[in-house]
Structure 1
Amino acid sequence: MIKIYVNIPVDFKYIADPTMHSMPAVAQSRNGKYLAFQSMDNQIRIMEPLTNFRWKSKKIFKGHMVSGYACGLDFSPDMSYLISGDADGCLIIWDWKTTRIFERIKAHDDVCIDAKWHWREKSRVLTAGWDNVVKLWD
């Protein structure tokens, strides 16, 4: 006896575009207006989820190396800067308006896996590295 199944839901595998990259880390801005995604193609992309869920084409932050790592990122409390760690152990600070690197600081001997702005004092940044060190920058 042969059974024939019709209209069975089958999952289709999406054949990804080779230019697509995973985005393992995300941060929300303090005002809730933006989401920043750390992309594995060494870029940070910005999305405005409250309006249309589209990428902000003029807000792409480049100049760091994160391929293979889920390095954390964060917005400054006044939305002037965006920070991220990178694979070389650096803390990268970008200017929000120009999307250019404002400063690059050698923060750790190994991967700088996370960077967070202090929630009250905007002059302080906290970084964590794979060298088992957590640093508070002023």
Structure 2
Amino acid sequence: MTKSPDEKWIVGQAMDNRLVLFQLIDDKLKFSKKHAFRGHNVAGYACTSDFSPEMSFICSGDAQGRVFIWDWKTHKIVTRWKAHDNVCITTLWHPHEKSRVLTAGWDGDIKMWNS
């Protein structure tokens, strides 16, 4: 689970290959049925996801070593690429350089990408 930069949302991986969102309202979580991000394969893996600093995009890795970036408003995949030879277990948006994403894979590599 990852909290958004504005601290109004929490995103988590679901084992049915989607990212699900919860809205934070008065310190309580409300499941957001409208917000689901699909297209990647994470079943069986605890791949982390992250928000871009300005909250325009959301990213995640998947079981095939790919990185996915979705548009926050449309929930559509903006881009995806092969980042690792095995599972891409972690994706993190650089907090100051909005065009950079860091990834870590089960291949033992940590990489920085221009998104």
Give the TM-score category using the shorter length.
Answer: over 0.9
Query: Which structure 2 residues correspond to residues 17-96 of structure 1 after superposition, within 5 A?
Result: 26-51=1-26, 53-96=29-72
Percent identity, aligned pairs only, is: 50
CA RMSD, Structure 1 to Structure 2 (Å): 0.9
Point out where structure 2 has 5 or more consecutive residues left out of the alignment: none
Match of 2:110 in 1: 134
Q: 1:106: Cα distance to partner?
A: 0.5
CA shift, 1:53, in A, is 2.2
Superposed displacement of residue 87, structure 1: 0.1
The alignment covers a number of residue pairs equal to: 113
| Matching residue of 2:73 | 97
Q: CA deviation at 1:49?
A: 1.7
Decide which structure has greater strand share.
2
**Structure 1 residues 98-113: aligned runs within 5 Å:** 98-113=74-89
Q: For residues 37-81 of structure 1, what are the alpha-carbon distances to aligned partners after superposition, in whole Å with 9 as ceiling and x for unaligned?
A: 111111111111225522111111010000110001000001000
What SS does the aligned partner of 1:105 have? strand
TM-score (structure 2 length as normaliser): 0.95
Give the Cα–Cα distance (whole angstroms) in 2 for the partners of residues 72 and 104 of structure 1: 16
TM-score, normalised with respect to structure 1:
0.79
1:118 CA displacement? 0.3
Structure 1: 5+ residue runs without aligned partners?
1-25
1:116 is aligned to 2:92 = yes
Structure label with greater radius of gyration? 1
Task: Tell which has more relative contact order, 1 or 2 (C-alpha 8 A, sep 6+).
Answer: 2
State the distance in 2 between where 1:110 and 1:78 align: 29
Deviations 1:74-94 (A, max 9, x none): 000010000000000000000
Instruction: In structure 1, give the amino acid aligned to 2:24.
Output: P
